[in-house]
Amino acid sequence: MALATDNTQGMSWHRTATSRFLDKGFFWLTAAFGIGVGIILLAIAFQVGRDAIPSIQKFGLGFLTATRWNPVEDIYGAWTQIYGTLVTSFMALLLAVPVGVGVAIVLSEDFLPPRLQKPLVFMVELLAAIPSVVYGLWGIFVLAPLLQGPAMWFYKTFAGVPVLGSLFSTPPTGRGVYIAGIILAIMILPIISAISRDALVAVPLELRQAAYGLGASRWETLFRVIIPAAFSGIVGGVMLALGRAMGETMAVTMLIGNSSNPSPSLFAQGSTISSLLANQFAEADGLQVSSLMYAALVLFGLTLLVNILAELLVSRVKLKM
């Protein structure tokens, strides 16, 4: 210890002008990168907002609740897409959060021998490396035929049941909101589990030892100490995953059925804001481009809202602890 302190002191006495210049330079470089990211975000938001102005003027807030998307008559409303974005993302979180956090717990505790644990960690992280078009193709050729049977069972069993029945009110085909939701769940799973695992592993060993010292069992330690301590990290992972789910384009476009007719049914074909943009942007002109920009702006807003909510959630939980 003492030796190390002496060393650094010795260094600082002999700091040359070059070293100080490099130090300053590095500081400003990182600052510029940091600010640059912010500027890029604002620039994109500004550009999208500016291009959306004609559509905002024409449709106003009614854009958010109207359900027609008709490029022939230039009538645009994005409710079907907003609903599709929210439902697929929510469904993805519902499926992926319990599984993802569970995976993270298994892979951070010493349940498994390291020889088995290491490859498993690697494989989960590898899921994140699969290109989304591959997920889309896999969804079309494997997942959709596989789900056809179970989906049909839901459709027949819940027919006529109020509320729940409306979720399954259309006959399932190979494309639809539910398949998009499930594929999104698989896609965001590695993000949630990888980040949650990092957060769990980063909890100081002293906390765990102290909990054991007070007589807590393994599960008490896990649920009362480790998970709360890692909570902000886990929420961070979930938010990143949600961002991915809301913005995912390729796989969703391939699986959701791309219909702008609104339906509460999970088996119906739907559309998300991202899939709408992917489909129509290349061949759009005039008010259609502007309306697509407006839809993009709405997606921006939704993401911002979700992030603010997450921040609030984290600070609430921190206060309680």
Binding site for another protein (CB under 8 A): 68-73, 140-141, 144-145, 171, 173-175, 253-254, 257-261, 269, 271, 275, 278-280, 282-285
Q: In the complex with another protein, which residue's Cβ is closer, 139 or 233? A: 139
Q: In the complex with another protein, which residue's Cβ is closer, 221 or 269? A: 269
Q: In the complex with another protein, which residue's Cβ is closer, 34 or 150? A: 150
Residue with token string 């030796």:
3
Measure the CA–CA gap between 318 and 79, rounded to whole angstroms.
36
Please state the closest distance from residue 282 (CB atom) to another protein, in A.
5
Q: Is the dihedral of CA 108, 111, 112, 114 positive or negative?
A: positive
Token pair for 63: 């854009």
Q: In the complex with another protein, which residue's Cβ is closer, 85 or 253? A: 253
Q: In the complex with another protein, which residue's Cβ is closer, 140 or 203? A: 140
Burial class, 302, CB count within 10 angstroms (exposed 0-12 / middle 13-18 / buried 19+): middle
Please state the closest distance from residue 183 (CB atom) to another protein, in A.
15
Please state the closest distance from residue 251 (CB atom) to another protein, in A.
12
Measure the CA–CA gap between 164 and 158, rounded to whole angstroms.
7
Please state the closest distance from residue 253 (CB atom) to another protein, in A.
6
Residue among 247, 137, 146, 136 nearest 191 (CA): 247
Please state the closest distance from residue 277 (CB atom) to another protein, in A.
11
- Cβ distance 62 to 79 under 8 Å? no
DSSP 14: T
Measure the CA–CA gap between 62 and 318, rounded to whole angstroms.
39
Q: In the complex with another protein, which residue's Cβ is closer, 132 or 221? A: 132
Measure the CA–CA gap between 187 and 196, rounded to whole angstroms.
15
Q: In the complex with another protein, which residue's Cβ is closer, 169 or 258? A: 258
Please state the closest distance from residue 250 (CB atom) to another protein, in A.
9
Please state the closest distance from residue 72 (CB atom) to another protein, in A.
4
Token pair for 199: 């957060």
Calculate the CA 146 to chain-centre distance: 25
